[in-house]
Chains A and B, each alone.
Chain A
Amino acid sequence: MNSLILSTAARLVMPLILVLAVFVFYRGHNEPGGGFIGGLLAATAFALLEMAQGVETARRALRFRPQSIAAVGLGCTLIGGLWGALAYGYFLKGVWPLITKHADGSKSGLPFGSIFLFDFGVFLVVLGGVCCILFALEDVVQSDSEAGGD
């Protein structure tokens, strides 16, 4: 598709969507949101770029092969699960190395730990998986139209 309006708008909107994706992902820690929705949002950013400027531009913008992104994400979720197993003996148990508990029961520190890593893995799996499907579909459509089909 060669639309000046769409490609200009895509350049403006794409960073906004990506920032929103990261925000939704981070917010999902304790509120509605999370890795799955964040990953979907991030994938829509690349879908928009693909619509506006073609699949090659979208591939370059993603930098890595979508399958590899999904693989790294799956690896992150597994490490997030095994971390809890190593620390407490329960697979998928939450580990919070940066949070300190005080004597009165309150907590302080940064909420980064195994659950965050797990959710980040989900983010990458969804982003990689959706982009993989989208790009593959676009490839098929392109090769069909080049072959003189409809």
Chain B
Amino acid sequence: MLLFWPVVIPFFTAVLTLLAWRSPEIQRGLSLMGAFALLASALAIFSHTLNYGPVAAQAGGWDAPFGITMVADALSATMVLLVGVVATAVILFSFSDVTREEEHFGYHPLTHALLAGLGGAFLTGDIFNMYVWFEVMLIASFGLLVIGGQPNQIAGAIKYVGLNLIATVAFIAGVGLLYGTAGTVNMSDLHNVLNGREGDSVVTASAAFLLFAFASKAALFPLFFWLPASYHTPSFSTSAMFSALVTKVGVYALFRVFSLVYDIEGSILEPILLWGAVLTMAFGVFGALSQSSVRRVLGYTIIGSIGMMILGFAVGSRLAVAAGVFYLFQDVLVKAALFLSAGATARLTGSELFARSGGVWRSRPFFAVVLLIPALSLAGVPPLSGFWPKLMLVQATLEQGSWFLAFATLATGFFMLFAVARVWSAVIWSAHPDGDRAITRTLDGPTWAPLVSLTLLVIFIGLNAGNFVDLTLTIADQIIDPTAYLTAVLGEPK
């Protein structure tokens, strides 16, 4: 039952917030309590998996591979824990960010439906069920994108939904092919059934469909255009939730499916993934350099970071996979912190355009420091959390003798630093166009609390890197050799 809480709690919160639609205050209270309950359940799952290894639960008591299985190994459990952390931070931040009108039209129920979809997608051990959770997320995120009713939100949402619908159709086509050829949709069972059938054209075709689906969810080159077109249009809370978690689902699904179901080593998909990752890094950072508003720059840095994670996975050695996983984990916190501080900055300066903002350093130096830390972590400055996975990735690529990939990693880090420095100088350092007295607003408690706690977490991960490297190496072992996962789902092999 433990594994169902990350789905049940957000759905239950969505029910309660829908019924309490008359009062925004009650909605907020319920929403925050739901987020804390989700965080508590995620912590319970995380500690259980760390102590006892992967666990599985069968819905309705139907044993795998016949029923729907929920599985938590260290990767899933950590992702669910991050969902809990980001959900709490974002919902707290939303109290002073989301407008009354957006709350009236269902911001809180939709956010919790999105969280339920995330929890389900991270925990399911069944590929068709994963498709269902993707749909839950798609519907909820479409609602959240258009909730303000602005014309640019509708334009962004159409691109978002357009590509995502194509991706889900590809997803279901791939799952259909798999079911047709293997007769099962349980990922552990698929691992056993497909063993030795890597060369089959049906298997390769289904893998290509799923790669397309996950790559467009994760905004991999060349399927990334929808992300910068839509992530800067909704409220900052929603942007933070999307950039921290929703794109990461695509990365997680790639990690999970292409290690457990398919063996991509030596197949035609391996170079596609590798060069797709390198091009994604390049387009991400150069795109970030070409933009002139805060969230658009951050949107492109998401793409650059996604490229790094996929590169780690595509290189495939133990250290490289661990680097990709580490990057994935810390990027969730960094992106949440950056998008929330972009919201706070825009509230202070009145705009998120470079040309219309500035002067934060002179009037709010402490806030500028809080913003600086995740920004430097994104750029990979030691000893912050973003530095360690880059170091691991460079080391892993050099171990394999691929100088080019090591160079690409370092160059991406350098340009990321450049992009962050541009934001810093335009928004924080330069004078406000309306003069030094332009910033009169102050930030309230619900804004400070998530910003400071996320920043402290980023510092904490950076300073405790040893423990996190150990955790990600364990996860990399589980990804490379999924025996423990298979045993948790199917029982001891006979």
Contact = CB atoms under 8 A, between A and B. Distances in A.
A74 B57 CA distance: 22
A85 interface: yes
Interface stretch (A20-28, A48-56, A90-98, A99-107): A90-98
B11 interface: yes
B4 A85 contact: yes
Interface stretch (A8-16, A39-47, A76-84): A76-84
Given A78-B8, A81-B8, A65 B21 contact: yes
B15 A91 contact: no
Nearest to B9: A78
A113 interface: no
B61 A88 contact: yes
Interface string A54-84: 0000000000010110111011001001101
Interface residues of B, number: 17
A89 interface: yes
Nearest to A70: B18
A74 B7 CA distance: 12
If over half of A's interface residues share one DSSP class (helix, strand or loop), that class is named, otherwise mixed; here it is helix
B14 interface: yes
B59 interface: yes
Contacts of B18: 67-68, 70-71, 74
Nearest to B57: A91
A68 B19 contact: yes
B106 to A, nearest CB: 7
Interface in B54-73: 57-61
Contacts of A68: 18-19, 21
Contacts of A65: 21
Given A85-B1, A93-B60, A67 B106 contact: yes
B11 A78 contact: yes
A94 B61 CA distance: 9
Given A68-B21, A91-B1, A91-B4, 18 more contacts: A65-B21, A67-B106, A68-B18, A71-B15, A72-B19, A74-B14, A78-B8, A78-B11, A78-B15, A81-B4, A81-B8, A90-B1, A90-B60, A90-B61, A91-B8, A91-B59, A92-B60, A93-B60
Interface of B: 1, 4, 8, 11-12, 14-15, 18-19, 21, 57-61, 106, 109
Please list the 10 inter-chain residue pairs (A to B) with the smallest Cβ-Cβ separation, ordered nearest first.
A71-B18, A90-B61, A92-B60, A91-B4, A75-B15, A93-B61, A71-B15, A92-B59, A85-B1, A93-B60
17 contacts: A68-B19, A68-B21, A71-B109, A74-B18, A75-B12, A78-B12, A81-B4, A82-B8, A84-B61, A88-B61, A89-B61, A90-B60, A90-B61, A91-B1, A91-B8, A91-B57, A93-B60
